[in-house]
Structure 1
């Protein structure tokens, strides 16, 4: 007996929506993805995690959140809103990330960076401040109007250049989030400038009352990366770990057997657990 014809339908993740948001801070449309837990929001609202490179990572994070938050007393993962920030493309990554995630960088510094293809045209860079303003001034208020959000439990997640953006945000605008997750951060991009920002943050931290959580991760197989990514990440963590724990609760994790890209699913899983840590 022949099989009955089936009706094919597009697959969508439960409790998610997406829309195009045109930024007024710069001429760039962003594809915004939002996941809302099916559980009832606590009185203070849901925790929220803002996810960079959402075209590549939103589905992974949503499934990690949905599965693990079913039994939070066992997993340590509590329901949270996931806000993915991506671009209007079908590709996992868009070249606009080079502009959005990086600080202004002198040509001589750019020329010294390791490149995969010397003949390729270098994307525009240096727009991290504008991107951060978009998140803070345009995106966050929209999310907080439409969802029950605990503004005292906000996290940001970024990997590679996204990890660099996370660190820049912690060092220069620490009030923006309470939890910072930087996977395989591209510290080498403008190492001198990032160190200046770190030193200023460290100095300011001694005077303020704010408390942050930070997770820096790396893949074991990134030790041979031409950017010295693994060494840079470890050195940064070791300096930050010396700060008072009540000011900055810093953690470091190396994923065994994982490289720069293969590490992503494991990193996402650890990130959703870290969100409510401490």
Structure 2
């Protein structure tokens, strides 16, 4: 019996060097077969690409062939990750996805490098000035149907990007966003957000039910149950996301919002359902018969 490496049809990856310097990003790309619609393919961009890309492509590939049953049609997935085989690059994602102010934290492990946050503007520049134009040169994209997804720190980045450059995407999907981070500094970004009137913007916020006030049943049996419960009281992931969705919906300045709780999910297990929801939002059948 011969073992062979598995390759998901329609997928490639390539590395892109940021114009501002620094280490390259690894871009994972899925493009559908056939000719794009006249206006171009819808696009879903995800952060933490090494982890999120497999979920997104599998979700799209199993639903898009059956649009009348799923309300999902084909589109392009571009996931921003890092060279390497690990699902997460903890140091680089801290810098890329953690909004200003620029700060340095102690190493994740003894003897390791310090952890820096505050580089979200650089990643946003890369997306706007390099990634999106590069994708447009590869495949025809519908500029009116671009979506951004992020989870955890990626969800925080999604909110930062929305408040800073709302014209980049029409759908913004923030799963389990770390709104509490740095004393909920992101709320200041929300308060001084860019003008969104006249834009077609949809913000979907979500969290797993076990990111609320109570531990998951299996977590309560673990030795770190007490510490984990105290951490939940600080993070308030469910409450802060729901409050933001409700607050923005009342302000009527161009943002439609939705908030969703995923049953049975913790902060990490929610990634699969959240990416699946991002696929259903980004590639919803719109404007023509399925």
Q: Which TM-score applies when normalising by structure 1?
A: 0.88
Q: What is the rounded CA distance, in whole Å, between the counterparts of 1:31 and 1:122 in structure 2?
A: 23
1:155–1:180 CA contact under 8 A, matched in 2? yes
Q: Among 234, 248, 254, which residue is 1:247 paired with? A: 254
1:160–1:186 CA contact under 8 A, matched in 2? yes
Q: What is the rounded CA distance, in whole Å, between the counterparts of 1:116 and 1:238 in structure 2?
A: 35
In the other structure, the counterpart of 1:104 is 100
2:103–2:117 CA contact under 8 A, matched in 1? no
Matched, 1:73 2:68: yes
**Cα displacement (A) at 1:117:** 7.5
Query: What do the CA deviations read for 1:4-45 (whole angstroms, capped 9, x no partner)?
Result: xx2221101100101111112231211111001124311101
Query: What do the CA deviations read for 1:201-245 (whole angstroms, capped 9, x no partner)?
Result: 27x33xx3112011100000011424121221111111012133x
Q: What is the rounded CA distance, in whole Å, between the counterparts of 1:51 and 1:154 in structure 2?
A: 11
Give the direction of change, closer, same or farther, for the CA distance of 1:187–1:119 in structure 2 (3 Å limit). farther
Structure 1 runs not aligned, ≥5 long = 1-5
Moved more, 191-200 or 23-32: 191-200
2:99–2:120 CA contact under 8 A, matched in 1? yes
Give every structure 1 segment of 4 or more consecutive aligned residues whose post-TM-superposition deviation is greater than 4 Å.
115-122
Q: What is the rounded CA distance, in whole Å, between the counterparts of 2:28 and 2:6 in structure 1?
A: 15
Matched, 1:55 2:50: yes
2:102–2:117 CA contact under 8 A, matched in 1? no
**Cα displacement (A) at 1:265:** 1.1
Secondary structure at the residue paired with 1:105? coil
Matched, 1:128 2:120: yes
In the other structure, the counterpart of 1:214 is 203
Matched, 1:233 2:225: no
**Cα displacement (A) at 1:124:** 1.3
2:151–2:175 CA contact under 8 A, matched in 1? yes
1:26–1:130 CA contact under 8 A, matched in 2? no
Matched, 1:267 2:267: no
Secondary structure at the residue paired with 1:167? helix
**Cα displacement (A) at 1:180:** 0.2
Matched, 1:200 2:189: no
Secondary structure at the residue paired with 2:156? helix
Moved more, 19-28 or 60-69: 19-28
2:102–2:116 CA contact under 8 A, matched in 1? no
2:164–2:193 CA contact under 8 A, matched in 1? yes
Secondary structure at the residue paired with 1:28? coil
Secondary structure at the residue paired with 1:177? coil
Cα-Cα RMSD = 2.2
Q: What is the rounded CA distance, in whole Å, between the counterparts of 1:257 and 1:117 in structure 2?
A: 31
Q: Which TM-score applies when normalising by structure 2?
A: 0.85
